[in-house]
Chain A
Amino acid sequence: MADLNQLRRISEAVQAGDADACAGHTKQSLEAGASPLEIIEQGLTAGIRVVGEKFGCGEMFLPELMLAMQAMKEGLKLVDPELKKMKLEQKSLGKVLMGTVKGDIHDIGKDIVSSMLELNGYKVVDLGINVAAETFTRKIGEERPQVIGLSAMLTTTMQEQRRVVEALRESGLREQVKVIVGGAPVSQKWAGEIGADGYGANAELAVKLVKTLTGAA
């Protein structure tokens, strides 16, 4: 049986965005014999749920949300090996591959969307910035995501989003994944024009879009 106080402290550490404290309490809980599932459900996820609610009603803000996500991830890192031993996997609504396209080094929008997706129960593999079309196609093979997200901040680099979609088509992967695009100059019209599956005007709508595309909505 898990110590409820310890689980509460994990949840609070997530809410405070304190990664060190979250890792510490998670470790103590595991050593005290708590099950990984209890830690995830009543500690880590419970904490992030509070953050999500407060963010939704305007009481918490992006930096707090993102720090909370980081704290939760520190906890999950420790729980994951224990889950594997039990032949279990973390529950997830699906996997999303995220990256900022080649020639573009802007990552804040992508990071925000990634955090929001994780907050909503998706596993996100972040390929970082300046990601070439070939890297996307190669990683799709390795990671088998349901969705890939292409970020572009500049009117010049948004053209690269079209190239990635074309590369997917050429390598026969286009039907295996849904493609979403985002970034300041991008619009729904643009998404249609380049043959992507969707566009979200902000992080919240991006999550909604992914949920629709993965059948989770």
Chain B
Amino acid sequence: MAKFFGRGRGLEYLSQQQVLDWHQHALQLLSTVGAKVSWEPALKLLAEAGCDVNKSTCLVRMPAHLVEQAIRLAPGRFRLGGRDPATDVIVGGLEVHTTGSGNCVNVIDLESGEHRPGTFRDLQDMVRLQDALDNLETCQNPITPQDLPRPGLYVKAFEGMVRNTGKHLINQAESGEEVNDHVDILAAAVGSREEVLRRKLVSFVCCFKSPFTYGEENLRVLFECARLGLPLLIETDPISGATAPVTLAGLLVQQAAELLFGIALAQLVSPGAPVFFANAPTVMDMRSGVVSEGSPERCLYYIYCAQLCRHYDIPSCGVPGTSDSKQNDLQSGIERTATLLTSALAGYNLLYSAAGTINSVLTSSLEGIVVDDELYSYVRRVLRGIDFSSEKIDSSLEAIARVAHSGKSFLTDKHTRDNLRAEHWLPTIMDRRTYEVFEASDQKGILDFARAKARKILADHQPLALAAGADKAIEAVVERAARRAENRG
């Protein structure tokens, strides 16, 4: 069993031939321009597999057949398990799933409204809040806590995540050992490492640098995850006009090549390793030099990439729902909704990391997370479409015959009551009051409602408890990680 969120509608701009051409261009880039790989074990593996490896420049040219083989080996569907099995999701095909807030450094304080550095406490509040919000299905580390010591930061953050949610977890790591720290923390929480690996309770982001730069830290994580069979978000975030061509097609070809290289590497380490084609492509704002996360180009990138990923039958993962606005305002509403809705309609498989964020995914807030849960719910309703089954039509025709000319309205017909909840989306924090009620109320719209909902959830909600004796074991792992990171300096 796994949760169902919605099914994309395969919104497509390209012909089949254009998709094939796109793929051929990407292959060509990998066999000519190649990738820069700065870790000896990876270079060795690539050379053995038949790549053209230049040891002095670390440049690797990958032949097309290795890429084609990797696309065949990479699974089209896989499970993202949660500590609470009822929250499991399966990614692939046209199915759309979601993630909560991701990797911000600042928060807007729920009570004071102040924009300030995010803390470990904020991380835990956000994760616990998301645990209670049904439309945020998996959990990415929402905050890089600014009040924790740098060594072993991700592992300590992960402890905060595990304690506060039963949903599938996504995090970053700085080494293969840290990947195992994550597995050990979860093993303490659920009882065994075997269970963590079998049910794939955690995924890791491997974000490589555009253009074509594969650093040691991420390669170590990639190797360890592939070896353990944990899902990998193989990602690059090319910036149109800065780290990729200004032409959007050029960026998309470059990015496909970059991600296929990472995917091929994972399949060489462990054939069948579960991988995402993950990306957050952007454009550079050529007035300010700021990287824009909320542009219409972002909508297009995801529509096009969804089509390519379906061609590859490899799950896609991206960061729509982002905004460049510095506050939860109309701009953020426009950017979040547009990028999210188009990506979902296109069938992007995992909409991740953006919930609740503004300021180009640098700032998150509890009220923003509640608002985005509502937005995801709205999108979910759109994905579901309209039930045009003969059953629905027949009962509706009967209702029309019963009500029309009877002097009554549909409001008091049983057909209305019986179908209301399935047909109409029922908002929880949208302002649908009359103007006079709004005017007389202290609650001035969606953000006030969202804050009230966040406060209530934080006061009431308890996440799934950890296995008995977990606390001590988790503490030991976190200490081990901090010590190791300090020694490494």
Contacts and interface: CB of A to CB of B under 8 A. Distances in A.
Interface of A: 17, 58, 61-64, 66-67, 70, 107-108, 111-112, 187-188, 201-202, 205
B412 A67 contact: yes
13 contacts: A61-B420, A63-B413, A64-B417, A67-B412, A67-B414, A67-B417, A107-B409, A111-B409, A111-B411, A111-B412, A201-B437, A202-B437, A205-B436
A119 to B, nearest CB: 14
B433 A202 contact: yes
Contacts of B417: 17, 61, 63-64, 67
Contacts of B436: 187-188, 201, 205
Which 8 A-B pairs rank lowest in CB-CB distance, beginning with the nearest? A201-B436, A201-B434, A63-B417, A63-B416, A66-B412, A108-B409, A202-B434, A64-B417
Interface in B47-101: none
Contacts of B409: 107-108, 111
Given A17-B417, A61-B420, A66 B435 contact: no
A184 B420 CA distance: 23
A61 B412 CA distance: 11
Contacts of B413: 63
A187 B434 CA distance: 11
Contact of B411 (A112, A188, A201, A202): A112
Contacts of B411: 62-63, 66, 108, 111-112
A66 B433 CA distance: 20
Looking at B411, B414, B416, the one whose CB has the most chain A CB atoms below 10 A away is B411
A141 B409 CA distance: 29
Contacts of B437: 201-202, 205
A70 B412 contact: yes
Given A112-B411, A201-B435, 15 more contacts: A61-B417, A63-B411, A63-B412, A63-B416, A64-B417, A66-B411, A66-B412, A67-B412, A70-B412, A107-B409, A111-B409, A111-B412, A187-B436, A202-B437, A205-B436
A184 to B, nearest CB: 9
Contacts of A58: 428
Contacts of A202: 433-434, 437
Contact of A63 (B420, B426, B428, B434): B420
A89 B435 CA distance: 39
Interface string B401-427: 000000001011110110010000010
A63 B418 CA distance: 9
Contacts, number: 39
A66 to B, nearest CB: 5
A17 B434 contact: no
Nearest to B412: A66
Interface residues of B, number: 15
Looking at B414, B417, B426, the one whose CB has the most chain A CB atoms below 10 A away is B417
Looking at B412, B414, B426, the one whose CB has the most chain A CB atoms below 10 A away is B412
Interface of B: 409, 411-414, 416-417, 420, 426, 428, 433-437
A148 to B, nearest CB: 21
A40 to B, nearest CB: 22
Contacts of A70: 412
B382 to A, nearest CB: 21
Contacts of A62: 411
Nearest to A201: B436
Contacts of B433: 202
Contacts of A187: 436
B352 to A, nearest CB: 30
Nearest to B433: A202
Contacts of A205: 436-437
Nearest to A200: B436
Contacts of A17: 414, 417
Contacts of A108: 409, 411
A75 B435 CA distance: 37
B243 to A, nearest CB: 48
A107 B435 CA distance: 21
A70 to B, nearest CB: 6
B205 to A, nearest CB: 38
Contacts of B435: 201
Nearest to B435: A201
Nearest to A70: B412
A202 B432 CA distance: 11
Contacts of A64: 417, 420
Nearest to B436: A201
Nearest to B414: A67
Contacts of A107: 409
A210 B71 CA distance: 70
Nearest to A129: B407
A3 B434 CA distance: 45
Contacts of B414: 17, 67
A78 to B, nearest CB: 20
A63 B421 CA distance: 11
Contacts of A67: 412, 414, 417
Nearest to A202: B434
Contacts of B416: 63
Nearest to A67: B417
Contacts of B420: 61, 63-64
B409 to A, nearest CB: 5
A63 B403 CA distance: 14
Contacts of A63: 411-413, 416-417, 420
Nearest to B418: A63
A70 B416 CA distance: 14
A20 to B, nearest CB: 11
Contacts of B428: 58
Contacts of A66: 411-412
Nearest to B409: A108
A42 to B, nearest CB: 25
A95 B413 CA distance: 26
A202 B436 CA distance: 9
Nearest to B437: A201
